[in-house]
């Protein structure tokens, strides 16, 4: 699916950088269940959405024409410490 974005971007001379946020499924479920002031998926739809995402997700690869990949694994250690 990424090719439909990568191919035209490369054609126009853009550099392609992918940022992957690597987060465990359990953390995703917890985040969805505990959202405030935001519509949630509900438990049934949440399970369906996460099942689909985690079963179909393919890690990005430089072979796709991507110029760089950054992976941040949960818990994220980015930004200044306050």
For the stretch 5-47, pLDDT in tens is 999 999 999 999 999 999 999 999 988 888 887 777 777 888 9
Cα(8)–Cα(12) distance, integer angstroms: 6
Q: Are 28 and 11 in contact (CB under 8 A)?
A: no
- Angle among Cα 58, 54, 63 to the nearest 5 degrees reads 5
Task: Tell whether the torsion through CA atoms of 31, 34, 40 and 45 is positive or negative.
Answer: positive
Q: Kindly state the tokens that stand for 79.
A: 């930004």
Q: Are 33 and 40 in contact (CB under 8 A)?
A: yes
Per-residue model confidence (pLDDT) at position 79: 62
Q: What is this structure's pTM? A: 0.75
Strand partners, 20: 71
């Amino acid at each position: 699916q990424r090719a439909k974005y990568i191919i035209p971007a490369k054609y126009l001379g853009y550099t392609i950088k992918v940022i992957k946020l690597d987060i465990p499924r359990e953390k995703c479920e917890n985040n969805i269940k505990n959202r405030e002031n935001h519509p949630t998926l509900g438990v049934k739809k949440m399970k369906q959405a996460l099942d689909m995402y985690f079963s179909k997700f393919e890690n990005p690869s430089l072979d796709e024409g991507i110029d760089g990949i950054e992976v941040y694994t949960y818990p994220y250690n980015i930004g200044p410490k306050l």
